[in-house]
Amino acid sequence: MKTFYWLVKREFWEHRGGFFWAPIITGGVFLLLNIMGIITAEVLGAHHGINFGASGGLHNVMSDMDAGDMSKVGFALDLAMYSATGLLTVVLGFVVFFYCLGALYDDRRDRSILFWKSLPISDTSTVLSKIVSATVLAPIIAVIVGIVVGILQLLILAITLSFHGVNVWHLLLMAHPFRIVFNLIGYIPLYVLWALPSVGWLLLCSAWARNKPFLWAVALPVATGLIISWFGLMGLFNLPTTWFWKNVVQRGLFSTFPGTGSVFGTSGESIAHNVAGNPNMDFMDLTNTYQLLASSNLWIGVVIGSALLAGAIWFRRWRDDS
Amino acid sequence: MSAVITASGLSKRYKSSLALDNVNFQIAPGRIVGLIGPNGAGKTTALKAILGLTDFTGQLNVLGFDPRKQRDKLMGEVCFIADVAVLPRWIRVSEAVDFVANVHPRFDRAKCEAFLARTKLQPNQRVKQMSKGMIVQLHLALVMAIDAKLLILDEPTLGLDILYRKQFYQHLLEDYFDENKTIIVTTHQVEEVEHILTDLMFIRDGKIVLDADMDAVGERFIEVMVNADKADAARQLKPLDERQVFGKSIFLFDGANRATLEQLGETRRPSISDLFVATMKGTYA
């Protein structure tokens, strides 16, 4: 267990840039853009003599709102907080994708694998530590940064509004920051399961390719897809060609992007329904997101992902570059 | 004591060539073995097989383990330095020490820090900021702090200047080696290891062509400096090799009668490099 902790720590040392600085810098840029947007709005507003806060306009609007309107304010605030994390998850998807591609390849290329293999560590633990770094460590850091950025975002909004005489803290009570934190952290285990086939495929290519793992990882499924599309091979299984693109190419390559499971894994209609009806962020609640556990798509992915990872471990053990 | 390494019928085939051809050898504890051969003779393949880094056919027992099946356990007892610059470039000195200290049960942190204190390495320094010599210093400090039974060095001083090379072997002998440890070293700089070896193994085209301890080598191989008038007599005795220096001929004999040779001229023990060149004649032809 101690060895495993240090193996994961080693991954963090090596990939501090992607795991730690990428979300922080993204979050910082996100906040900066928000502040710039607010300043621009303020300047334009002052320039045209529109001052909706002090003149009492917004204040009156607030006091006139009924419960339904209030929930819309809460929705807007929750959305603001989720949006920060939303951006970070896109970054996280890229980080995990490229981390997995390099994880079992870079040390073979620079021959430092000979140093790692001179230590009493099994290849299984090595590969497992890389899976955990990709699917648990990186998302946890991204979520924590996302939460901090989201809270800062709320505070910036609140402070801006307070300049216009709006009761800030009253407003903030309509947001659900704790529920959001709970939902985001709770999503990570689901992400581990959903990302497994992609992580498995990318790590397998990383452990197997003698050079250019990116090319192999992407070109192989895409080329297969093209051949299948060209000859209409899926017709043999009474399936449309898009089935292959959606369930093999897209699922195999892009499942490292958090949220793709919720969008593509279950029928997207329930989400659309939620958004169209009473606007709220309930579809992000764990009771909704964990419905994915009932989909065969997820579990087939887990099985295939595990098989691919077993292959990655085997190649890590026996790949002999000399 | 039982052997540290026992190999019998060890073979390894790459696609087109046979890197190890039915090799048999034993290495006893407390020895420093020089594994010496031309490029592509199979040295590195042999070491990789011992370290469990490659598959092979035949029997190989290293410290009681099968390197194919028990590599991770084996590496608790074996240390390995490959030719320079295999430390990951991103790692810092302090991180490397922390990591090895926490994953290796036989690592002595105080010892390692004492070795590092004798160098110019700074804890925050990254490997990519170091010269080749400094990287080897760091690697050696890590390895010497591990109480391993077997140390394998594959061209450890390649590309280092003479100061680092001398220091490397000096540290190994003074601060590391004892009768419970075994060292296997491959190198092309034969002159530098000549005086520290206890055993010599020559490998050529995947076969062991010489396997003897240094005393036996001194007994078996004799070099004679012969004046031109006796050169023909010397040639009659079927020397392994002949070369000319300052108008005299130097003959190298394998297993010839010492008394007979002494009548021909001045005898001496051949250097390993001369012996190597004579044994490997025609390798690249």
The beta-carbon neighbor of B72 closest among A6, A121, A320 is A121
Mean pLDDT of B183-201: 89
Could you tell me if A320 lies within 8 Å of chain B, comparing CB atoms? yes
Q: How confident is the model at residue A322 (pLDDT cuts 50, 70, 90)?
A: very low
Closest chain B residue by Cα to residue A15: B90
The beta-carbon neighbor of A6 closest among B74, B76, B103 is B103
Query: Cβ of B54 and A110 within 8 Å?
Result: no
Q: How confident is the model at residue A54 (pLDDT cuts 50, 70, 90)?
A: very low
What local confidence, expressed as pLDDT, does residue A176 receive?
Answer: 78
Query: Cβ of A14 and B79 within 8 Å?
Result: no
The beta-carbon neighbor of B102 closest among A6, A115, A118 is A6
The beta-carbon neighbor of A320 closest among B54, B89, B92 is B54
The beta-carbon neighbor of B104 closest among A112, A120, A318 is A120
Query: Cβ of B102 and A111 within 8 Å?
Result: no
Question: Three-class SS string for chain B?
Answer: CCCCEEEEEEEEECCCCEEEEEEEEEECCCCEEEEECCCCCCHHHHHHHHHCCCCCEEEEEECCECCCCCHHHHCCCEEEECCCCCCCCCCEHHHHHHHHHHHCCCECHHHHHHHHHCCCCCCCCEHHHCCHHHHHHHHHHHHHCECCCEEEEECCCCCCCHHHHHHHHHHHHHHHCCCCCEEEEECCCHHHHCCCCCEEEEEECCEEEEEEEHHHHHHHEEEEEECHHHHHHHHHCCCCEEEEECCEEEEEEECCCHHHHHHHEEEECCCHHHHHHHHCCCCCC
Q: How confident is the model at residue A92 (pLDDT cuts 50, 70, 90)?
A: very high
Closest chain A residue by Cα to residue B51: A118
Contacts of A5 in chain B (CB under 8 A): 102
What local confidence, expressed as pLDDT, does residue A60 receive?
Answer: 56
Query: Cβ of B53 and A107 within 8 Å?
Result: no
- Which region among A105-114, A170-179, B4-13, B199-208 has the lowest average model confidence (pLDDT)? A170-179
- As a whole number of angstroms, the distance between CA A168 and CA B263 comes to 110
Closest chain B residue by Cα to residue A17: B90
Query: Cβ of A107 and B88 within 8 Å?
Result: yes
What local confidence, expressed as pLDDT, does residue A105 receive?
Answer: 94
Assembly ipTM: 0.89
Q: Given its phi and psi angles, is residue B51 left (phi above 0), alpha (psi -120 to 50 degrees) or beta? A: alpha
Higher-pLDDT residue of A302 and A52 is A302
Q: Are strands B32-36 and B182-186 parallel, antiparallel or unpaired?
A: parallel
| In chain A, domain spans | 2-318
| Among A residues 83-142, those touching chain B with beta carbons less than 8 Å apart | 107, 110-123
Query: Cβ of A115 and B139 within 8 Å?
Result: yes
In terms of Cα–Cα distance, which of B12, B245, B95 is closest to A115?
B95
- As a whole number of angstroms, the distance between CA B186 and CA B52 comes to 17
Alpha helices in A22-137 (DSSP H): 22-47, 57-64, 67-103, 106-109, 113-116, 123-132
Higher-pLDDT residue of A160 and A29 is A29
- Which region among A97-111, B74-88, B101-115, B119-133 has the lowest average model confidence (pLDDT)? B74-88
- As a whole number of angstroms, the distance between CA B101 and CA B116 comes to 14
What local confidence, expressed as pLDDT, does residue B238 receive?
Answer: 83
Query: Cβ of A322 and B45 within 8 Å?
Result: yes
Q: Are strands B265-268 and B241-245 parallel, antiparallel or unpaired?
A: unpaired
**Which residues, 6+ apart, have CB-to-CB distance to A294 below 8 Å?**
none
**B252 has pLDDT over 50:** yes
**A238 has pLDDT over 90:** no
Could you tell me if A319 lies within 8 Å of chain B, comparing CB atoms? no
What local confidence, expressed as pLDDT, does residue B285 receive?
Answer: 65
Local structure of residue A209 (DSSP, 8 states): -
The beta-carbon neighbor of A118 closest among B54, B75, B91 is B75
- Which region among A115-124, B55-64, B158-167, B253-262 has the lowest average model confidence (pLDDT)? B253-262
**B53 has pLDDT over 80:** yes
Query: Cβ of B54 and A120 within 8 Å?
Result: no
Top residue of A10, A119, A127, A321 to mutate, by most chain B CBs within 10 Å, is A119
The pTM score is 0.87
Collapsing DSSP to helix, strand or coil, A175 comes out as coil
* Beta-ladder partners of B224: B251, B267
CB B81 within 8 A of CB B153: yes
What local confidence, expressed as pLDDT, does residue A265 receive?
Answer: 63
**A71 has pLDDT over 80:** no
Query: Cβ of B104 and A119 within 8 Å?
Result: yes
Query: Cβ of A112 and B100 within 8 Å?
Result: no
Query: Cβ of B75 and A123 within 8 Å?
Result: no
What local confidence, expressed as pLDDT, does residue B139 receive?
Answer: 93
Mean pLDDT across chain B: 89
Could you tell me if A285 lies within 8 Å of chain B, comparing CB atoms? no
Contacts of A99 in chain B (CB under 8 A): none
CB A147 within 8 A of CB A175: no
Mean pLDDT of A304-311: 96
Local structure of residue A263 (DSSP, 8 states): I
Q: In B, what residues contact A, Cβ < 8 A? A: 44-45, 48, 51, 53-55, 71-76, 78-82, 85-92, 95, 98-100, 102-105, 139
pLDDT digits (tens, 9 = 90+) for A247-290: 888 888 888 888 777 777 654 444 444 444 555 667 777 777 88
